[in-house]
Amino acid sequence: MSYFDAASAVPLHPVARQALLASLDEGWADPARLHREGRRARLLLDAAREAAAEAVGCRADELVFTPSGTRAVHSGVAGALAGRRRVGRHLIVSAVEHSSVLHAADVHEGDGGTVTQVPVDRTGTVDPAAYAAALRDDTALACLQSANHEVGTEQPVAAVAEACRAAGVPLLVDAAQSLGWGRVPGDWSLLAASAHKWGGPSGVGLLVVRKGVRFAPQGPGDERESGRMPGFENLPAIVAAAASLRAVRAEAAEEAARLRELTERIRARVPALVPDVEVVGDPVRRLPGVVTFSCLYVDGETLLHELDRAGFSVSSGSSCTSSTLTPSHVLRAMGVLSEGNVRVSLPPGTPAEDVERFLEVLPGTVAAVREKLGAPVAAGAVRDAGAGLVVDAIGRRCPIPVIELAKVIGDVPVGGTVRVLSDDEAARLDIPAWCEMRGQEYVGEEPADRGTAYVVRRSD
């Protein structure tokens, strides 16, 4: 089985395993106690904090360990907002942040705060000028991920941090996806990360709050972790997390170059091997091991199951794989095709032959899924002299509305229109994306008695 879902979790690094087992024997005592066992545990905790701080590029007393990366984000956002409450209650986030950041923003907004969501372009990149324009006198905090978890796009953190610093606003960086590859550039103020993203054990995160940043921890107080994170530290996991971060950093430059070559191979060959595919994300400024593409006329959940049966563990942002039946918020914000979405994220050490086998298997797998779906007979399609061709796809989920559209576009003359009736939220994203890929004109949406009418004009 080839595991290609490292953006979700990286397999435990051998150094992490060794450190975890060793510290289970040495680090079980309470590091706050003064007896011999407690002092031994304190030495391990201090050494782990020093190692993690060196990797981040901060002071050891600026870093605390948390039970997860999500907890680090939530605590960082809440503490920074509370610490600057006198300034105002305005929060800035990007449209493609991890759900942990967006959920924290929702809570803030529900509590009476205001939130500005900065858009991204089709590569998933924010414009630093847009962040600068969003800054206000009452802005308490800005948040920006260092790299996107779904498409791998790296963000211009340094430029955004400079704009925030000039305005006196702290910037919180979610560095979960990138910290294993290197330090986050720029004059940021807060940083959150998660050990299972770089090969450490799950259940360990870290939060950095730079000196001088106003920060008020929320919730009941605790003397542990500088009063910022209550509860007994999971010392063996913390030691393993710090040890593995140091280890992966030592290997990062060489491994990044190798994985970039493999993902470049996927980016170049998938469109050549599989028709009607859109590769998404920035082609240059991206994480070494992540490549994402979407396939027209493909059910994402079925494709993932078939690839799993073929021996490949991948992920997807397609609405078809979600219980909400809505596309990934990242793909939606980018305005790219969402149906048949596949995220390949290679863990360090991935053999080149595994990638070659994936490229051999993928074309036949996609073709089989398309054949299984069929191009359904557009039984709901009717001609109307005044409205061109109408395709009734009400009640049909992705990718059926687009398949129906593709089947009938040739039945109207150049300049004629097709109206696709759909009640699937994914159609709002996938029909315009299909038009861009196939050189057709997307006219826009119209109200309909049932669902929404998406109007397409034939261009050739």
Active site residues: 320
Residue bearing tokens 């979407």: 294
Measured CA angle at 206 (ends 203, 210), to 5 deg: 165
Q: Provide the residue type at 105 as one letter.
A: A
CA distance 215 to 79: 5
Count other C-beta atoms under 10 Å from residue 389's C-beta.
21
CA distance 47 to 178: 23
The SS3 call for residue 175 is coil
The SS3 call for residue 99 is helix
Burial (CB count within 10 angstroms: exposed 0-12, middle 13-18, buried 19+), residue 361: middle
Q: What DSSP letter does each residue of 376-390 carry, written as one string?
A: ---TT-EEETTTEEE
Count other C-beta atoms under 10 Å from residue 438's C-beta.
16
When computed from its CA atoms, the radius of gyration of the chain, rounded to whole angstroms, is 24
With a CB cutoff of 8 Å and minimum separation 6, the contacts of 149 are: 7, 98, 176, 177, 330
Q: What DSSP letter does each residue of 1-41 carry, written as one string?
A: -EE-BTTT-PPPPHHHHHHHHHHHHHS-S-TTS-SHHHHHH
Report residue 231 as tokens. 């509860």
The SS3 call for residue 286 is strand
Point out which residues pair with 141 in neighbouring strands. Answer: 91
Point out which residues pair with 66 in neighbouring strands. Answer: 205
